[in-house]
Amino acid sequence: MLEKIKTTNLQEGMFVVCSANGFSSLPTELSNTPISNKADISAILQLNINEVLIDSEKSAVLNSFPQTTYSEEILFAREAYNNALSCVQKIFHTIEQEGSLEISEYKKDISPLIDSIDRNNSAAASLTVLARADRYLHTHSLNTAILSAILGRYIGLSREAVEELSITAMLMNIGQLWLPKQLMNKKGKLSRDEFKQIKIHTLKGYKYLADHDSPQGIINSVKSHHEKYDGTGYPQGLSGNDIPQYARIISICDSYDALTSDRPYREAMTPNSAIKHLYSMANSSFHPRYLESFIKCVGIYPVGCFVKLSDGRYGVVVTNTPKAPLLPQVKIVFNSRFRAIHPEFVDLSKRSDQTQGNNLEIVECIHPKTFKLELDRFLW
């Protein structure tokens, strides 16, 4: 998948195809090749080329971690998630006290979570569906960070970039700390004046980070995470690739997690309904290629979907299959009579190769509240 990016956003491992300027060309040794070191980036920057085309599918994500199964990884992911949540709470407490942010320390705090994502991203992704409404600001920030890290890794961002992207997502809503709580928790539709107040949170977060000498990439992306691809977002009305890369990624993940979480004014959507809703806004709200990549890496039936299979049994999606998004791995927990059974892990992408007519597939995605289910009991 070809994508135009600014040369200032180049990362090691990205596969550079050519210049996107139209009048300047890259030297042979720097075109149609992955960036192997920072010297390559410096060489491109010195050529006065503002944008290049990269092939995200050929971009190399350096991953030295052995891959694990969902059942092997979930306990580690749970511990890393809880530790990262403590980090988010520490960040918000520091800001409330007008303290100084320690970005490098926060990166160390979330490093085990990124390690877990590198080993098996489905485990961490499954934990994002369990957010508590009473801690929404914290859990939503962390869930968006996890989803952003998964997408960032998928499109070829380096480990260093993914860490900074995750911290940015954790900080995206700090401006809400200075908004009235009754406004943030209002159950009904916001008035025009109330929505104007809400929109100020991006500028408040931007100002705080700028006043505390945070990295410029984080500052700009926190400010821009509500910009839209067609230029109808806020606060500046940026469009297309003028929106910072981290903000383009975060806006998708922020919206997805918000749609799949219970809020005072509406119930959560099922994950697959949220994906359909996001897809309906391709080319308007979201960068179309990033949205396409997000759907590929989380699936048509994302982790956390409670589904009914074609043989009548029920289960929870625990692992996505990027090359077969309709055929994830499912943890089957109920038989066709909706009686609890010993859990069975089934990879639908492998079962789909059976004789035609005997394939096992998903026929329905069901909101767990329909059966008054608590998903956390099935995600272990």
Better-predicted residue by pLDDT, 14 or 271:
271
Integer Cα distance of 162 and 213 in angstroms: 20
pLDDT at position 13: 75
- At residue 355 the predicted structure's pLDDT band, cuts being 50, 70 and 90, is very low
Integer Cα distance of 173 and 201 in angstroms: 7
Please tell me the least confidently modeled range out of 22-36, 238-252, 356-370. Answer: 22-36
Better-predicted residue by pLDDT, 8 or 352:
8
pLDDT at position 175: 96
User: Token match 């511990």: residue?
Assistant: 79
Q: Where are the domains of the chain?
A: 2-55, 70-298, 306-377
Model pLDDT for residues 303-352, shown as the tens digit of each residue: 888 999 999 999 999 988 877 888 999 999 999 999 999 999 999 988 76
Better-predicted residue by pLDDT, 314 or 283:
314
Q: What angle do CA 114, 274, 253 make, to 5 degrees?
A: 30
Kindly report the pTM of this predicted structure: 0.83
Q: What is the 3-state secondary structure (H, E, C) of the chain?
A: CEEEEEHHHCCCCCEEEEECCCCCCCCHHHCCEECCCHHHHHHHHCCCCCEEEEECCCCCCCCCCCCCCHHHHHHHHHHHHHHHHHHHHHHHHHHHCCCCCCHHHHHHHHHHHHHHHHHCHHHHHHHHHHCCHHHHHHHHHHHHHHHHHHHHHHCCCCHHHHHHHHHHHHHCCHHHHHCCHHHHCCCCCCCHHHHHHHHCHHHHHHHHHHHCCCCHHHHHHHHHCCCCCCCCCCCCCCCHHHCCHHHHHHHHHHHHHHHCCCECCECCCCHHHHHHHHHCCECCCECHHHHHHHHHHHCCCCCCCEEEECCCCEEEEEECCCCCCCCCEEEEEECCCCCEEEEEEEEHHHHCCCCCCCCCCEEEEECHHHHCCCHHHCCC
Please tell me the least confidently modeled range out of 23-32, 39-48, 121-130, 203-212. Answer: 23-32
Residue 66 token pair: 């052995």
Q: What is the mean pLDDT of the chain?
A: 88
pLDDT at position 326: 87
Q: Is the dihedral of CA 182, 184, 187, 191 positive or negative?
A: positive
pLDDT at position 317: 93
Model pLDDT for residues 163-177, shown as the tens digit of each residue: 999 999 999 999 999
- 353 has pLDDT over 80: no
Integer Cα distance of 51 and 14 in angstroms: 13
CATH numeric code, 70-298 = 1.10.3210.10
